[in-house]
Chains A and B, each alone.
Chain A
């Protein structure tokens, strides 16, 4: 036995070869475990890099937000909420259009405004033709001239005009070409974002008076979700732009403040 062992020990090449094979087997067996550790280490390191960036952004955002002037922000917030409200503001819009029509000296013939429920409220001006008479009904009372109707549409009146994120307004008025351009130009001064979608200007056969049909779109504000990772800064440039806008938007409408409780509301 001992002899055999010594004999075996004398086969040096064999022993060395076996030891190398054993080493290779070790590497092959333990290699995957080491590789898994390596991958895991790199993965956590990569996550840490991302998290550090996240931390840096959040820290920066906190410091930015901490330095914002809240008072000015409230003013701009009010302005924006009036400009692009979250809910349909048909009465207000009809009243604003009334102001626009007066300022541009055209004669309003009809107005249709999309309703939030999918229908379209309509308002027709008085027959006198002296100007539009669509008023916010909720506040009109007392001895004032009876306002024209703002009623829910009949089933045949118009197709639903509500759009995702906004609604439509359609007006028909009479006036000159320059009046029409003036009315369109005044849109940028209204404290309500109004977009022109389509205009049809038709010349009357007899009196050559222009009849203008305009389709407007009234966008509604969408809820915006901000996370701690969103960089939300309010720069001086933003403040200047909003201040300019604040002074530029002069056309607005508010409910009247007339006495209520008319003794005979039918006469």
Chain B
């Protein structure tokens, strides 16, 4: 019958051994167990420690070999370093050029977009446009309704224009006796 550690059976077993011998055997058994426990612990810890130590050494050796190979490959790469630099430079500057070209195209498109919204009788006297899409349009018209149309056309195309603002509008005499409406509108052309 299995019993908890150190407990003795209270059952009356048929024991052929004399009671004294049985007790001595039990003492010996417990003593051996008591000695084996720390010893086994030491052995186990030593095995774990040694295993880890060996694994670490193995990785260290591997690391040395890898570094050696890396150094060899790096030395080999250095022979092509100028080619690599040239390629990198070509690609970077090509991208820069393409980016700039795209921006210029966008710039031209912005001017054309503005052109496409100007009513026939409106005359632009000044167009100021920058690469952020900010546009300032100054112009004249004989009929304020055409300026109104221009403004509304800009506002009606939110996919192309935003922040459409009438900065000023006023009537002036153009020396021929006819009044002219001077206006100034600011708008931002959205980037595509």
Contacts and interface: CB of A to CB of B under 8 A. Distances in A.
Nearest to A199: B129
B148 interface: no
Nearest to A24: B41
Interface string B27-48: 1001101110110011001001
Given A188-B101, A219-B96, A238-B91, A16 B80 contact: no
B80 A65 contact: yes
Given A203-B126, A224-B92, A194 B100 contact: yes
A47 B65 CA distance: 13
A221 B63 contact: no
A52 B65 CA distance: 10
Interface residues of B, number: 68
B125 A202 contact: yes
Nearest to A10: B27
A141 interface: no
Nearest to B42: A26
A16 B65 CA distance: 50
A45 B37 contact: no
Given A38-B52, A242-B90, A13 B96 contact: no
Contacts of B167: none
A221 B85 CA distance: 13
B10 interface: no
A58 B62 CA distance: 18
Nearest to A181: B108
Contacts of B55: 41
Q: Is the interface of B mostly helix, strand, loop or mixed?
A: helix
Interface of B: 5-6, 26-27, 30-31, 33-35, 37-38, 41-42, 45, 48-49, 52-53, 55-56, 59-60, 62-63, 66-67, 69-70, 73-74, 76-78, 80-81, 83-94, 96-97, 100-101, 103-105, 107-108, 111-112, 115, 123-131
Complex A-B, nearest 6 residue pairs according to Cβ-Cβ distance, in ascending order:
A65-B80, A37-B52, A12-B30, A44-B59, A19-B34, A23-B41
29 contacts: A12-B26, A13-B6, A27-B41, A34-B45, A44-B59, A44-B63, A48-B66, A51-B66, A55-B70, A61-B84, A62-B80, A65-B77, A66-B80, A68-B83, A70-B83, A80-B89, A83-B97, A193-B93, A194-B104, A197-B130, A198-B130, A203-B123, A221-B92, A224-B89, A228-B77, A234-B87, A238-B90, A245-B94, A245-B97
